[in-house]
A and B are shown apart, each in its own frame.
With several copies, the nearest count.
Chain A
Amino acid sequence: MAETVKNLAMAKAINESLRRALETDPKVLIMGEDVGKLGGVFRVTDGLQKDFGESRVIDTPLAESGIVGTAIGLALRGYRPVVEIQFDGFVFPAYDQIVTQLAKMHARSLGKVKLPVVVRIPYGGGIGAVEHHSESPEALFAHVAGLKVVSPSNASDAYWMMQQAIQSDDPVIYFEPKRRYWDKAEVSTEAIPGPLHKASVVRDGTDLTLAAYGPMVKLCQEVADAAAEEGKSLEVLDLRSVSPLDFDTIQASVEKTRRLVVVHEAPVFFGSGAEIAARITERCFYHLEAPVLRVGGYHAPYPPARLEEEYLPGLDRVLDAVDRALAY
């Protein structure tokens, strides 16, 4: 690694992180549909098969359960597979292998077996795609013990969190916010990253805390900008990890601001916001001046592209929630 700081789009940052893992650990494998010559439909694995060969960057048959199931077998043999699910809506054929085998085998074996498998899932909406290409199913994985669930919001985190996910001896579901794939940021290939599951305060504020992860962090920063113009000081947290959730960091922020709004693309009902609201209310009962409010998707299937702007949390809807919270 000659250069230590590069300005990279998130997709490219993940690509470089995968490349580094392939270089440094001969046990790392890349598996998935179209990850080889094509480099994946988002080009996240671009050039890797060319440089590391078909034995390490593996185009698989079109069968998600097969992909995850064989990745488990490869992990049992000592490999560290990084599996790509082409889109969020296509992870469900693999759901059984993920929640029943990948998540539980370590415990089932009383710790004898480790499954260091990373499941990469491009997720979320906002790119005008057809059905099943815009979903945010993270809650369906966070509820399941044995899995870790993370989602970077920027290229630098994407790079480092992938390094950490691959090094983790636990299975990690790595949600990539596809509408941020093309957003660029400085990525240092030598920075020493913080812990994988630690939230970060990306903007300090005093009046209210906005908590988000993945694609919604950028939106929350824009909300904070807009609110600042109206004289409101919002703190913005990038949660980075959905399981575990870094409640300590949220709690510290809420004890200061006394108000919390959680934002995610996934439906609100049984979503991450519910868990955060429940636990933070428990932890900060006497600090909260307002109930924790949630902004997210509605309880309806993800709509066709021409409606997604209305369906997804946007600047106005988050500001509206901020106003409602501040009105208490």
Chain B
Amino acid sequence: MTVESTAARTPRRSAGSKAGTAGAKAAGTTGTKRTTRTTAKKGTAAQQGADPELVQLLTPEGERVKNADYDQYVDGVTPEELRGLYRDMVLTRRFDAEATALQRQGELGLWASLLGQEAAQIGSGRALRDDDYVFPTYREHGVAWCRGVDPTNLLGMFRGVNNGGWDPNSNNFQLYTIVIGSQTLHATGYAMGIAKDGADSAVIAYFGDGASSQGDVAESFTFSAVYNAPVVFFCQNNQWAISEPTEKQTRVPLYQRAQGFGFPGVRVDGNDVLACLAVTKWALERARAGEGPTLVEAYTYRMGAHTTSDDPTRYRHDDERAAWEAKDPILRLRRYLETSNHANEGFFAELEAESEALGKRVREAVRAMPDPDHFAIFENAYADGHALVDEERAQFAAYQASFADVEGGH
């Protein structure tokens, strides 16, 4: 199954040379200004949805609002590309729903749903070039989609047949990282390598509001700032870290964390795909132009449970979820597409059919996914081999064979 990529992908340019653009520089200044407000008051802005600092290009009602700083990053977006963003979000949500269903049916052991975070992921994912590199956490199914990773590959680890079923270098999309925060350092190191190579690629590291508390994330801020590494830290603040609200991790808005490390932070409406696209493009251009790291806080909401093992009724109220439903990322882009006449009924109908087909194919692919061979236990523990692994593999083989003998003997 191949991935039906939508938005135009720029050519791979990892060997290209570094070149600043005037636009990026201007934006860099803007971004700096953007981080100047300080709040030392407790537990206020962290919870507010309608933060005055929130970058928004599309209102929940689907109205396009002007933004002097960021409009330039989406001015060239064609109606076709807009429909592409919409399609990406719809198909990602469909895939996600299918995975949740498959978990209920016992085909997956677990699923971490991205429901509600489609705009943050598709907006940022579509801002990337092919030669950029993505370091996800475990919920970036929408970003994976943008990178052209076969969605069924994402299911392997949730089914329990592997711990990550794709080649990170095929699509410059690293494996999911479960231990919270670790990947931000890998992203920083990778970005340091890009800089050493003199390339103008960039790196994006995804993490959550909960992850912001991990020492590793702070260390990645320090390293990236000191080495001026071309990395964008993309924090999806979905308001919850399992059962803990964001106030348990910080008492000021998370985007402000960056300034104390010497780089800009910006909060974007994470349910606004256009704003996410624009802000991420700005941040990536800064990186390419040698201006170093940026922190983007995408303010969004985890509409579902933390994972299929979780029961959110134990710790949060339904009305919170209901309030966020009004800000649905797909709905608002649909409204905009409709009022601006960028999409017609045929488009939506076709997408509905495509969506169904995707669901069906995912279902079939998962059900057909074979269990790994027993000897896979011993494969890839080492690249160059290890005497003890060889010994244990041989013992295991002999042990397995003894059953075959017995069975054969019967």
Q: Which of B312-364 contact A (CB under 8 A)?
A: 314-315
Can you list 16 residue pairs at the A/B interface with Cβ under 8 Å?
Answer: A59-B243, A59-B248, A62-B244, A63-B222, A66-B222, A66-B223, A68-B185, A69-B182, A76-B186, A77-B190, A104-B163, A109-B168, A169-B383, A299-B381, A320-B399, A320-B402
Residues of A within 8 A of B164 (CB): 108-110
Residues of B within 8 A of A75 (CB): 189
- Stretch of B113-121, B172-180, B286-294 with 4 or more beta carbons under 8 angstroms from chain A: B172-180
- Stretch of A2-10, A181-189, A216-224, A300-308 with 4 or more beta carbons under 8 angstroms from chain B: A300-308
Tell me if A245 and B219 are in contact (CB < 8 A). no
Tell me if A130 and B168 are in contact (CB < 8 A). no
Tell me if B110 and A72 are in contact (CB < 8 A). no
- Stretch of B34-42, B48-56, B192-200, B277-285 with 4 or more beta carbons under 8 angstroms from chain A: B192-200
Tell me if A96 and B380 are in contact (CB < 8 A). no
Chain B positions near chain A (C-beta within 8 angstroms): 109-110, 156-169, 174-175, 177-180, 182, 184-194, 196-197, 210-211, 213-216, 219-220, 222-223, 226, 241-244, 248-249, 309-310, 314-315, 371-372, 374, 376-384, 386-389, 392, 396, 399, 402-403
Residues of A within 8 A of B392 (CB): 298-300
**A214 close to B (CB within 8 Å):** no
Also in contact, A298 and B160, with CB within 8 A (given A77-B189, A96-B182, A101-B182): no
Interface size, A (range): 35 or more
Residues of A within 8 A of B184 (CB): 69
A97 to B223, CA, bound (A): 15
- Closest residue on chain B to residue A244 by CB atoms: B387
A246 to B402, CA, bound (A): 28
A96 to B158, CA, bound (A): 23
- Closest residue on chain A to residue B160 by CB atoms: A305
Tell me if A303 and B377 are in contact (CB < 8 A). yes
Tell me if B178 and A132 are in contact (CB < 8 A). yes
A177 to B349, CA, bound (A): 51
Contact string against B for A residues 146-169, beta-carbon threshold 8 Å, 1 for contact and 0 otherwise: 101000000000000000000011
Residues of A within 8 A of B244 (CB): 33-34, 36, 59, 62
Tell me if A170 and B382 are in contact (CB < 8 A). yes
B121 shortest CB reach to chain A, Å: 20
Chain A positions near chain B (C-beta within 8 angstroms): 33-34, 36-39, 41, 55, 59-63, 65-66, 68-79, 89-90, 92-93, 96-97, 100-101, 104-114, 128-132, 145-146, 148, 168-170, 197, 243-247, 269, 298-301, 303-307, 310-311, 316-317, 320
Apart from A109-B380, A130-B163, what are 7 other A-B pairs with CB-CB below 8 Å? A33-B241, A41-B310, A70-B223, A93-B216, A96-B182, A304-B161, A310-B374
Tell me if B223 and A300 are in contact (CB < 8 A). no
Residues of A within 8 A of B169 (CB): 112-113
Tell me if B192 and A70 are in contact (CB < 8 A). yes
Residues of B within 8 A of A72 (CB): 185-186, 189
Also in contact, A70 and B189, with CB within 8 A (given A77-B194, A320-B399): yes
Residues of B within 8 A of A60 (CB): 223, 248
Residues of A within 8 A of B174 (CB): 76
A62 to B177, CA, bound (A): 15
- Closest residue on chain B to residue A61 by CB atoms: B213
Tell me if B382 and A62 are in contact (CB < 8 A). no
A60 to B164, CA, bound (A): 29
Also in contact, A300 and B190, with CB within 8 A (given A41-B242, A59-B244, A306-B371): no
A68 to B379, CA, bound (A): 24
Interface centre among A39, A109, A316 (most CB of B within 10 A): A109
Tell me if B214 and A73 are in contact (CB < 8 A). no
